[in-house]
Amino acid sequence: MGIFDEIKLSFRNGSYLTRLIYVNITLWVLVRLVFVGYSLSGVDGSWLLSWLALPASFELFLSRPWSIVSFMFLHFELLHILFNMLWLYWFGKIFLEYHSQQKLLSLYIFGGLAGGLAFLAAYNGLPIFKDRLVTSELIGASASVIAVVLASAVYVPNHLINLAFIGPVRIKWIALISVILYVINLSGDNAGGNFAHIGGALWGWIYMSQLKMGRNLTGRFDRLVDMVFSWFKLKRKLKIKYSSPNPDYDYNRNKKQQQNDVNQVLDKIGKSGYESLTFEEREILFKMGQKK
């Protein structure tokens, strides 16, 4: 199996956390490659970033409405994407210890939307940004990532993370210090980015506070994502055709695969509850019950 086949398999079978990281990295690589091509040909490639970034001007945003989603997957500098993806991986893993993949994806998307709206509101509502309104843009997954951080901190505030040169630290302090730094830096050069961070953090806090009280603010979106991904999985499986001269081998292989599927579903129920199951996973349980 080649490296690209392994990447495709990892993306296809990985968690939503893995897929989010892959999407961010893939878009970063593509954007940088395009910039290399434009640079070598002597052409300015900055239009691509502007096309995908979220503009501060509300009028420009109306001409590029997709940017309210595309910006949260878009990076340019290496350190920017590196730190964002590391934070997403660390805190995403903590989040998935207690909640479903659908909730993680919803938190990422809606955290980014909240950050984008906070950015637009600040630049269009505060007079201090009047001179920078047309030229300012927002890129990066920071608002989405900090939403995951805050949500995790609200749910398990005393969860310990070992930091280099510091030692074990409760994630509630990491979240609190991050928010304080964002507020302090509102007067700095990246004021718009910090408004976006605060918007994402606020969403993470609201989302998890409501979820702890039994109200899932993104329940409909969770179910929509679940339905779409289940449909794609089912469609892909229907295209698979097996042909083997040994029926016993096929039978044993399929039986082993079915048992593995059941074990995975039971593990997921134990970790995230029955509600976290996809339509396909519930079908697996139903078929298992029919055979008994």
Residues 152 and 208: their CA atoms lie apart, in Å, by 8
Burial 47-82 (b: 16+ CB within 10 A, else e): ebbeebbbbbbeebbeebeebbebbbbbbbeeebbe
The pLDDT tens digits of the residues spanning 213-267 come to: 999 999 899 888 877 766 665 555 555 544 444 555 555 666 677 777 777 777 7
Q: What is the pTM of this model?
A: 0.78
Residue 258: phi, psi to the nearest 5? -65, -40
Q: 175, 149 in Cβ contact below 8 A?
A: yes
Residue 292 token pair: 């008994």
- Burial string for 204-241 (b: 16+ CB within 10 Å, else e) reads bbbbbeebeeeebbbeebbeebbeebbeeeeeeeeeee
- Name beta bridge partners: 138: 54
Amino acid at 109: I
Would you state the CATH architecture of domain 3-212?
Answer: Up-down Bundle (1.20)
Tens digits of per-residue pLDDT, 71-120?
999 999 999 999 999 999 999 999 999 999 999 999 999 999 999 999 99
Whole-Å CA distances, 261 to 11, 49, 69, 235: 18, 42, 34, 17
Domain borders along the chain are 3-212, 242-292
Strands 167-170 and 160-163: antiparallel
